[in-house]
């Protein structure tokens, strides 16, 4: 590469083309724009005319300049100018690019990758074969063209672990297997790790080693520790920033879900490193509720696995089920068995209340049984199974337990001890002695270390039967040695019994702060210390969430389980990734940095050259110049058109603007250099790796998609009939509803929209308050989905008017086998419907007076009975009122056979379609049919308003008082 005035040129000889520009000037100058050729018959009239003002036949100077500039830009562009050209690297021969690629470099990974790309480009220009060695997951050395590695560079990601012994050994093996001599370029993350020297030695034996390191300190976050109710948050750095480049103040954010379920920053705290200090700590006090929500701590802006610390069970909010004996009695709150438990647990745990059979499937962490003596056998078995799975069953004694025969003779599985009959009471009016206080907790007890307030005293308790195993099970005792709290392990879980009540009846323990702390110690409200390796012996932990090198969540589905001790002691690596692990309902976080870790900066031996990152990457300008040339040429096209008059003035402005936009677009495209495109590719890949949650959102979108006709139908009352599949029936039904809609419009304030026909399988029923369903024997049964929607419709207040249209339902004994075909079909249709018990319409039904006073309901057939929902059995007729007091409910179905649609049916002009009866009486019958329709719609719309009207005098009378 030749460098001229800070610009490097890939092909400098092309610049000689610039010498040709003056010749081009002369050539272009002599050639005016070509004339247009026009066929014109009247040219004879033009002969002999001369141009009035002699215009120059030469190209205007500015057009010439434009063209020359375009050509010059093109020549310069093809010469391949490069801004800030990097100096040629010494050496030829094969090159091995060694990359640490651990989490420590993830924060600066973009720069690192750019540096690697630059070096690969250099190697490519020098035609050096290159091998890439990623120390955190070493592969065998593979010498390829640099461009091959460049194309694979976007797939190079930092791993969330440091190169461990296994990786170091694999690297050394790979290096030993290759017998080539090569130079090495080592992109270090800046941290030292055991085994680094051995690799350095191995590389130095093959050739020159150059270490490239950003020199920036590495930041790491230690897992927060709970100490005295606060969280101790500590951060580490590899070295103090020499030039004050790194902030000594960093921020730590605690992130988790808010009550609405969205991820957000729940708390943040600042940390400041003292000068030269490598560790900074602070304390964060959070409400327990907030603390339980935290999912991870992170240092914002540091995208690395080391700057993230996942939180596990220790901060999680537990689910506690509270069960008291007996039904809810309306006792005083302070006497309730569960009151103090609720008060103690509500801030720190999710409380579940209900019956055991409902709660057990929810698999709570703790179940509290307050004075529950007897459990049904199934519940008992289920509870045993739940405890054995790891549940904590916390029982309290009480009068019921004391008086029952639970755990009298034999030890019950769900009781830690056997109980003596009756219990004892101390210090009462009828007993000797004072109320007892608590003895200090023994060393093996979970309560060990808690201070016992003076005022805690016990006046009654149930007493454990002495047993050989009793001594092991007591975890708290009274001062006279009587067991107060006993515990028994059961499977993976345990059963704990407080020998007193959970309220203040038997002791003052629930009133004291000790009670809350005891619950905490029992892990009812919050979890304990990080577990020891030995305590996890024999368990297998399943990864739930793992972190990638950038500290983002990654898929953990395909990773194998980890044995418990390994999880605590083993080094991170491909098999043990930092993340959240789960076993039997407990979760344990394994973080990239653990307590006791420190960050040591890497030290390089003599003979190894150390370079930093180049700050100004080289930037090719060819695209920019070629884009400029293209823009100028397109301007030249426009200008030439303008000069030769081919460009009309009006359209010319638009064309110039359009060409300008195109030219600018090309220019911008030329400005973007190739590395940026590679980076864009990387970002696209990283986005693609992020978890996709589109199905849920797309489901929501689908729900918002409303057909336009639904809006109009919902805006106005629309009557609808069910399509039967028989064209004539459907036509008459629609015409009938049209007639009824017209009648309603003329006579009442109900102004319906034109009626519609609906298909039960496709249409939404919720828009129609009334469905008219003419039943024909041939009708197909609706599908199960349609039935489900019909039942929802009926339950949510819709009404269906079934019409067999044959008056054969007239028989009030439908079981005598004389039912018509349509009636039989109706039975089949209605079989799957959620229809309440029916009765023939009683004479005092509200349908008889919803708008008109009616006693029979003719359609085309004069009088058949109408079946509606049966009145409740206890409806009574009040003296002096002609109908019963039936206040609730609109009948969901009305069944009849009078073929109302035929009587209602009108054509477009409002004339009746079908004859009804004969003469005047026929018209009267049609009128009554319309009145029935009006009453029906009124009943649907107003419910039992007319029935309620009978109460108006009584209400007015009451108001008067």
The region, left, alpha or beta by phi > 0 then psi within -120 to 50, assigned to residue 375 is beta
Whichever of 44 and 954 has its CB closer to other proteins, that residue is 44
Whichever of 51 and 876 has its CB closer to other proteins, that residue is 51
> CA torsion sign, 171 to 176 to 179 to 183?
positive
From the CB of residue 765, how many other CB atoms can be counted at a distance below 10 Å?
19
Q: Give the E-state strand segments of 299-360 in sequence order.
A: 308-310, 318-324, 349-353
Whichever of 32 and 390 has its CB closer to other proteins, that residue is 32
User: Bridge partners of 267?
Assistant: 254
Cα 46 to Cα 34, 54, 56: the distances in Å are 20, 17, 21
CB of 39 to other proteins, least distance (A): 6
Task: Single out the residue of 202, 117, 247, 297 nearest to residue 674, CA to CA.
Answer: 117
- Rounded Cα–Cα distance for residues 934 and 852 (Å): 8
Whichever of 38 and 918 has its CB closer to other proteins, that residue is 38
**Cα-based angle 185, 186, 190 (whole degrees, multiple of 5):** 150
- 769 CB-side CA count, 13 A: 18
CB of 44 to other proteins, least distance (A): 6
CB of 644 to other proteins, least distance (A): 6
Whichever of 54 and 245 has its CB closer to other proteins, that residue is 54
DSSP one-letter code for 390: T
Task: Single out the residue of 366, 352, 383, 296 nearest to residue 527, CA to CA.
Answer: 366
Cα 322 to Cα 349, 402, 482, 795: the distances in Å are 11, 20, 27, 35
Whichever of 651 and 693 has its CB closer to other proteins, that residue is 651
- Rounded Cα–Cα distance for residues 736 and 913 (Å): 9
- 59 CB-side CA count, 13 A: 23
From the CB of residue 276, how many other CB atoms can be counted at a distance below 10 Å?
7
Whichever of 54 and 177 has its CB closer to other proteins, that residue is 54
CB of 59 to other proteins, least distance (A): 12
Looking at residues 8 to 67 of the shown chain, list those that interact with other proteins (rule: CB under 8 A).
32-47, 49, 51-55, 57
> Segment contacting other proteins (CB under 8 A): 132-140, 426-434, 640-648, 756-764?
640-648
From the CB of residue 598, how many other CB atoms can be counted at a distance below 10 Å?
11
Whichever of 49 and 606 has its CB closer to other proteins, that residue is 49
CB of 614 to other proteins, least distance (A): 56
DSSP one-letter code for 16: G
CB of 32 to other proteins, least distance (A): 8
CB of 643 to other proteins, least distance (A): 8
- Rounded Cα–Cα distance for residues 317 and 288 (Å): 8
- 244 CB-side CA count, 13 A: 0
CB of 48 to other proteins, least distance (A): 8
CB of 650 to other proteins, least distance (A): 13
Whichever of 34 and 443 has its CB closer to other proteins, that residue is 34
Is residue 506 within 8 A of residue 515, CB to CB? The reply is no
**How, if at all, do strands 7-9 and 81-83 pair?**
antiparallel
Helix axes 61-78, 622-643, angle to 10 degrees: 160
DSSP one-letter code for 194: T
Cα 520 to Cα 288, 330, 523: the distances in Å are 12, 30, 5
Helix axes 21-30, 61-78, angle to 10 degrees: 150
Give the x-and-dash track for 474-493 against other proteins (CB under 8 A): --------------------
> Segment contacting other proteins (CB under 8 A): 118-126, 127-135, 643-651, 821-829?
643-651
Residues 6+ apart with CB under 8 A from 758: 720, 721, 722, 723, 765, 768, 771
Q: H or E element: which one contains 827?
A: helix 821-831
- How many residues bind other proteins (CB under 8 A)? The answer is 26
Whichever of 41 and 953 has its CB closer to other proteins, that residue is 41
CB of 68 to other proteins, least distance (A): 23
Whichever of 50 and 355 has its CB closer to other proteins, that residue is 50
CB of 637 to other proteins, least distance (A): 16
Whichever of 39 and 443 has its CB closer to other proteins, that residue is 39
Whichever of 45 and 606 has its CB closer to other proteins, that residue is 45
Whichever of 40 and 920 has its CB closer to other proteins, that residue is 40
Whichever of 609 and 644 has its CB closer to other proteins, that residue is 644
CB of 640 to other proteins, least distance (A): 11
Is residue 131 within 8 A of residue 97, CB to CB? The reply is yes
CB of 755 to other proteins, least distance (A): 53
DSSP assignment of 489-558: EETTEEEEEESS-SSTTTBSGGGSHHHHHHHHHTTSSS--SPPPTGGGTT-EEEEEEEE-TTS-EE--TT
CB of 64 to other proteins, least distance (A): 18
Whichever of 32 and 207 has its CB closer to other proteins, that residue is 32
**Cα-based angle 382, 388, 390 (whole degrees, multiple of 5):** 115
Grouping H, G, I as helix, E, B as strand and the rest as coil, residue 853 is coil
Grouping H, G, I as helix, E, B as strand and the rest as coil, residue 620 is strand
CB of 634 to other proteins, least distance (A): 20
Decide if residue 879 touches other proteins (CB under 8 A).
no
Looking at 31, 646, 706, 715, which residue binds other proteins (CB under 8 A)? 646
From the CB of residue 358, how many other CB atoms can be counted at a distance below 10 Å?
11
Looking at 194, 229, 513, 645, which residue binds other proteins (CB under 8 A)? 645
Q: Rule CB under 8 A: which residues touch other proteins?
A: 32-47, 49, 51-55, 57, 644-646
């Amino acid at each position: 590469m030749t460098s001229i005035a800070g610009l490097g040129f890939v092909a400098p000889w092309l610049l000689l083309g610039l010498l040709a520009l003056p010749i081009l000037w002369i050539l272009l100058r002599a050639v005016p724009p070509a004339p247009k050729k026009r066929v014109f018959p009247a040219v004879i009239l033009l002969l002999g005319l001369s141009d009035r003002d002699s215009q120059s036949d030469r190209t205007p100077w500015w057009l010439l300049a434009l063209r020359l500039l375009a050509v010059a830009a093109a020549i310069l562009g093809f010469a391949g100018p490069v801004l800030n050209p990097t100096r040629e690297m010494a050496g030829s021969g094969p090159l091995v690019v060694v990359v640490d690629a651990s989490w420590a470099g993830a924060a600066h990974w973009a720069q690192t990758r750019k540096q690697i790309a630059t070096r690969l480009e250099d190697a490519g220009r020098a035609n050096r074969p290159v091998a890439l060695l990623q120390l955190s997951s070493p592969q065998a050395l593979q010498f390829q063209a640099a461009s091959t590695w460049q194309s694979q560079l976007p797939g190079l990601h930092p791993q969330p672990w440091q190169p461990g012994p296994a990786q170091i050994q694999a690297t050394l093996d790979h290096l030993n297997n290759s017998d080539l001599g090569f130079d090495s370029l080592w992109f270090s993350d800046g941290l030292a790790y055991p085994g680094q020297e051995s690799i350095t030695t191995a590389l130095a034996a093959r050739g020159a080693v150059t270490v490239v390191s950003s020199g920036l300190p590495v930041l790491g976050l230690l897992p927060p520790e709970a100490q005295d109710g606060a969280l101790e948050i500590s951060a580490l750095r590899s070295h103090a920033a020499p030039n004050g480049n790194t902030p000594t103040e960093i921020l730590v954010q605690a992130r988790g879900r808010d009550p609405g379920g969205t991820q957000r920053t729940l708390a943040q705290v600042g940390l400041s490193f003292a000068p030269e200090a490598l560790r900074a700590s602070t304390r964060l006090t959070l409400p327990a509720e907030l603390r339980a929500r935290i999912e991870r701590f992170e240092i914002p802006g540091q995208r690395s696995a080391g700057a993230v610390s996942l939180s596990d069970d220790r901060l999680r909010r537990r689910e506690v089920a509270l069960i008291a004996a007996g039904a809810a009695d309306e006792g005083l709150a302070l006497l309730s068995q569960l009151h103090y438990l609720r008060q103690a647990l509500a801030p720190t745990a999710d409380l579940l209340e209900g019956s055991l059979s409902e709660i057990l499937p929810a698999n709570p962490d703790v179940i509290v049984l307050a004075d529950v003596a007897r459990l049904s056998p199934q519940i008992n078995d289920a509870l045993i199974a739940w405890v054995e799975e790891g549940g904590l069953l916390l029982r309290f004694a009480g009068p019921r337990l004391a008086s029952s025969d639970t755990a009298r003779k034999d030890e019950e599985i769900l009781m830690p001890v056997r109980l003596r009959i009756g219990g004892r009471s101390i210090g009462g009016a009828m007993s000797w002695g004072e109320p007892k206080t608590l003895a200090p907790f023994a060393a093996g007890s979970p309560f060990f270390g808690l201070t016992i307030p003076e005022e805690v005293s016990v006046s009654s308790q149930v007493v454990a039967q002495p047993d050989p195993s009793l001594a092991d099970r007591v975890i708290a005792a009274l001062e006279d040695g009587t067991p107060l709290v006993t515990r028994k392990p059961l499977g993976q879980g345990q059963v704990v019994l407080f020998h007193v009540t959970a309220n203040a009846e038997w002791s003052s323990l629930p009133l004291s702060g000790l009670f809350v702390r005891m619950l905490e110690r029992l892990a009812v409200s919050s979890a304990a210390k990080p577990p020891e390796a030995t305590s996890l012996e024999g368990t297998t932990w399943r990864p739930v969430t793992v972190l990638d090198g950038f500290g983002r969540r990654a898929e953990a589905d395909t990773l194998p389980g980890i044995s418990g001790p390994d999880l605590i002691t083993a080094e991170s690596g491909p098999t043990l990734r930092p993340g959240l692990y789960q076993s039997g309902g407990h979760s344990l976080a394994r973080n990239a940095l653990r307590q006791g870790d420190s960050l040591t900066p890497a030290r390089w031996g003599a003979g190894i050259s150390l370079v930093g990152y180049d700050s100004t990457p080289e930037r090719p300008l060819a695209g920019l110049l070629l884009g400029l040339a293209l823009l100028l040429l397109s301007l030249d096209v426009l200008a030439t058109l303008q000069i030769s008059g081919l460009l009309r003035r009006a359209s010319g402005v638009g064309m110039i603007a359009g060409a300008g936009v195109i030219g600018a677009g090309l220019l911008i495209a030329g400005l973007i250099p190739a590395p940026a495109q590679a980076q864009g590719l990387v970002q696209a890949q990283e986005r693609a790796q992020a978890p996709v949650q589109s199905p849920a959102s797309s489901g929501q979108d689908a729900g918002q998609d409303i057909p336009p006709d639904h809006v109009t139908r919902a805006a106005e009352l629309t009557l609808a009939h069910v399509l039967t599949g028989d064209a004539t029936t459907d036509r008459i039904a629609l015409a009938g509803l049209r007639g009824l809609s017209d009648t309603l419009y003329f006579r009442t304030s109900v102004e319906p929209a034109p009626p519609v026909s609906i298909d039960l399988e496709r249409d939404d029923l919720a828009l129609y308050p009334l469905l008219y369903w003419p039943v024909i024997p041939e009708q197909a049964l609706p599908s199960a989905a349609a039935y489900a929607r019909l039942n929802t419709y009926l339950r949510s207040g819709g009404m269906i008017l079934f019409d067999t249209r044959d008056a054969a339902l007239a028989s009030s004994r439908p079981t005598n086998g004389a039912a018509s075909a349509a009636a039989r079909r109706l039975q089949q249709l209605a079989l799957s419907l959620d229809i309440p018990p029916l009765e023939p319409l009683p004479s005092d039904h509200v349908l008889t007076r919803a708008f008109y006073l009616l006693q029979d309901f003719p359609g085309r057939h004069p009088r058949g009975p109408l079946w509606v929902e049966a009145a409740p059995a206890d409806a009574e007729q009040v003296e002096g009122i002609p109908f019963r007091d039936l206040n609730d409910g609109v009948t969901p179905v009305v069944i009849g056979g009078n073929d109302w649609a035929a009587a209602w049916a009108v054509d477009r002009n409002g004339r009746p379609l079908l004859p009804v009866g004969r003469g005047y009486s026929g018209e009267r019958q049609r009128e009554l049919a319309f009145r029935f329709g009006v009453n029906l719609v009124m009943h649907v719309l107003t419910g039992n308003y007319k029935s309620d009207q009978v109460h108006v005098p009584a209400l007015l009378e009451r108001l008067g008082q």
